[in-house]
Amino acid sequence: MDPVSRVRNYLLDNVGHLTYPGNPSFDQASKRWFVPIYCRGERGAIVVGDVELDLEGHIVFAPSREEMLGRLSAPAGSGT
């Protein structure tokens, strides 16, 4: 399965419609896909995390909804 489609479905099922996947990148060393998660907020689209997928399209890591919400509410430039 396409990593972007997989992440889009995961976000719709687990987080909500205000989040969406960005452009994936493939790490050759770890053989993993990394897909940024964007959230539509008051300040525009903000990256709130990354989803990591294996070659078969299984999600290896995804930040929790609470982690993403925390990043969304963090002050700009705070580095969190």
Token pair for residue 29? 């060393």
For residue 76, what pLDDT is reported?
Answer: 60
The backbone torsions φ and ψ at residue 42, rounded to the nearest 5 degrees and listed phi first, read: -60, -30
Indicate the domain borders of the chain.
Answer: 3-73
Position 68 confidence tier, pLDDT thresholds 50, 70, 90:
confident
**Which residues are bridge partners to 29 per DSSP?**
none
CB 50 within 8 A of CB 36: yes
Per residue in 1-58, pLDDT (tens digit) is: 799 999 999 999 988 888 999 999 999 999 999 999 999 877 789 999 999 999 999 9
